[in-house]
Amino acid sequence: MSLEERITEARARLEPLVESIEQPAPDRIDATIPADKLLDVASALIKDGWSYLTTITGLDLGVEAGEMAFLYHFSAGALLVTLRVHVPRSEPIIPSVCGIIPTATLYERELMEMFGVTITGTPNTERLFLPEDWPAGVYPLRKDFDPSQPEIVVQKDAAE
């Protein structure tokens, strides 16, 4: 399937569900959607194996903007479709996509510990990358994270 056919197909799948579709690069399609529409739109994109979830990028747009963005990247051959979900920084909540994409659990666990986002319905909320003794409520990929002042934790031998 050529890139043009992929773009036509992506638009056909997205148009009934989203308000506006942008094309930031020749091989990319972006759609900004509210969090409660995420599952519907994602389902439409992965239907019949047309695309797969490559990863989820988390963005902290900063204290001033007061927003976080979560970018769901779907690969379909040469085309990359990105669903952008913006949530308030003060109360970041997004739904889990694990019900339709089981392998997304690894990406969601990373988002939770790195950005402090609440993901409703995700099957596993354990830490994935950060150590067990990483202080609670400290989210390293947030822009206001102060890397010079992490809480110093004394590592104790597990056997003790």
Q: For binding to another protein (CB under 8 A), which residues are involved?
A: 3, 24-25, 27-28, 49, 52-55, 57-59, 71, 73, 75, 77-78, 80, 82, 101-103, 105-107, 124, 126-131, 140-141, 145, 147
Smallest gap from residue 49 Cβ to another protein (A) = 4
Residues 74, 107: Cα–Cα separation, whole Å: 13
Which residue number, 35 or 141, has a Cβ lying nearer to another protein? 141
Of 15 and 52, CB closest to another protein = 52
Q: How far is the CB of 31 from another protein (least distance, A)?
A: 15
Residue 22 or 36: the one with the smaller Cβ distance to another protein is: 22
CB 117 within 8 A of CB 92: yes
The crossing angle, in degrees rounded to 10, of helices 3-14 and 38-46 is: 140
| Residue 108: CB minimum distance to another protein, A | 12
Do 85 and 9 meet the contact criterion of CB atoms below 8 Å apart? no
Give me the least distance between CB of 99 and another protein, in Å please: 13
Specify the length of the chain in residues: 160
| Cβ–Cβ < 8 Å for 42, 59 | no
75: its two tokens:
């690969």
Taking the least distance from each CB to another protein, the nearer of 16 and 132 is 132
Give the shortest CB-79-to-another protein separation in angstroms. Answer: 8
Instruction: Please report, for residues 74, 99, 112, 149, the alpha-carbon distance to residue 124 in angstroms, rounded to integers and kept in the order given.
Output: 22, 12, 10, 29
| Nearer of residues 4 and 36 to another protein, judged by Cβ | 4
